[in-house]
Chain A
Amino acid sequence: MPLVRSDKLPCASDGDVVIVRQRVRSLAVESGFPLVDQTKIVTAASELARNTVVHGQGGTVELEMLVEGARRGVRLTFTDHGPGIADISQAMKDGFTTGGGLGLGLGGAKRLSSEFEIRSRAGEGTVVRIARWR
């Protein structure tokens, strides 16, 4: 999938989560997303960024603008080297908490995105990738 631009941001603190929201918003606006689509991907990014900070013990997020013919997309990849998730399907269930509240994070982000991918193993960190197309 042809990639037009790519940016990497730290995702390790509370303040970083706010910056990630702002940058994802700019990218969505630039990609010509209508308001509801912008809101959805920024909200999904907020959930995943928070997971990375709180559960992943800090990590990074890569922001990409994708182009496929006349379609535009935004793709985000959150990577951390934290404790990882032992049971992914359990973690995807809403309301699931590990005494910290993964809660709606993963399932919610999936529902708000066109594409969702997750790779994680206990002790090996986590990579979550979402994309939204216009």
Chain B
Amino acid sequence: MPRETGSRVVEILDKHERELLTSWLDRQLKASTLRRDLLQESEMREQSREFLRLVRDAAAKAGVEDVDTPAYEPVRELLRAISTERARKGFTSSETATFVFSLKEPVFARLRQEVGMDVGALAEEMWAANVLLDKLGLFTTEVHQQGRETVIARQAEEMLELSTPVVELWEGVLALPVIGTLDSARTQVVMENLLQRIVETGATIAIIDITGVPTVDTLVAQHLLKTVAAARLMGADCIISGIRPQIAQTIVHLGVELQSVITKATLADAFAVALQRAGLAVVRSRPQA
């Protein structure tokens, strides 16, 4: 009766768990990629034991073909945790994948012992084990990669925040010089920044200067209006300054509704209006030299 491919693998994972673990740990400790500076031996033992146990359970339930089935979720969960932790500690993705790949040799050795006589079956079983551990090893690199991407994304966000500083020009008057294009991701950051500053400073007027915005199309205009609307909901009025003649034309041409939003050509003009609204005036205290 033909046996299901991988069934011998399941068997040895079950029957020879302890020997496999010992052999595997031995290999890991001897590996050139060992990072004793980053990972304690006790942690490594614990993780290896847990991994082997979970793979044994999953394989017993669902075989060794498909690691995406629900039965393998505990294994994936563990690998996620290990991979994320190691990424944080500074391991490269290869160093982390080696954790899984180094289990191959002990498994192959044990398979040779148990299945040795039947060459055809041995080849199949070794292949099944190889594919299983490849898939799991690759999974760790995926998680590692995504972890890196998250860090990069967060850094990009922080840079965005830095590139749209909110300046307090005067008590209660904020200025937001926007440099570069306003896409939806940027707009979210801009809005959060601006509103946060409004709360912190108790500002009643926010001047959004778009001198540094190269093109204003319908999308950018919408993003601007969203920002204005959000500030208003928090009790701060907005003035848009830095409207170049071409932009004025585009806005009219696009039929963008800018009603009830004050617009000024320069930041200076906008500031003057802001002071006026705040009931302030700038007075010369000495005659001009």
Contacts and interface: CB of A to CB of B under 8 A. Distances in A.
| Contact present between A and B (CB < 8 A) | yes
Interface string B172-210: 000000000000000010001000000000000000000
Nearest to B149: A70
B142 A69 contact: yes
A36 B185 CA distance: 13
A2 B146 contact: no
A70 B150 contact: yes
Contacts of A4: 77
Contact of A69 (B73, B147, B188): B147
Contacts of B7: none
A67 B80 contact: yes
Interface residues of A, number: 8
A10 B150 CA distance: 35
B80 A36 contact: no
A70 B192 contact: no
Contacts of A67: 80
Contact of B147 (A2, A36, A70): A70
A115 interface: no
Contacts of A71: 146, 150
B150 A36 contact: no
B84 interface: yes
Nearest to A67: B80
Interface in B29-80: 73, 76-77, 80
Contacts of A94: none
Interface string B138-161: 000011011101100000000000
Nearest to B142: A69
A68 interface: yes
Contacts of B145: 69
Contacts of B80: 67, 69-70
Nearest to A71: B146
Interface in A60-85: 67-71
A70 B84 contact: yes
Interface string A1-37: 0101000000000000000000000000000000010
A59 B192 CA distance: 35
Interface in B252-271: none
A95 to B, nearest CB: 16
A114 B145 CA distance: 22
Nearest to B147: A70
Contact of A70 (B76, B77, B146, B188): B146
A36 B145 CA distance: 26
A67 B147 CA distance: 12
14 contacts: A2-B73, A2-B76, A36-B188, A67-B80, A68-B146, A69-B143, A69-B145, A69-B146, A69-B147, A70-B80, A70-B84, A70-B143, A70-B146, A70-B147
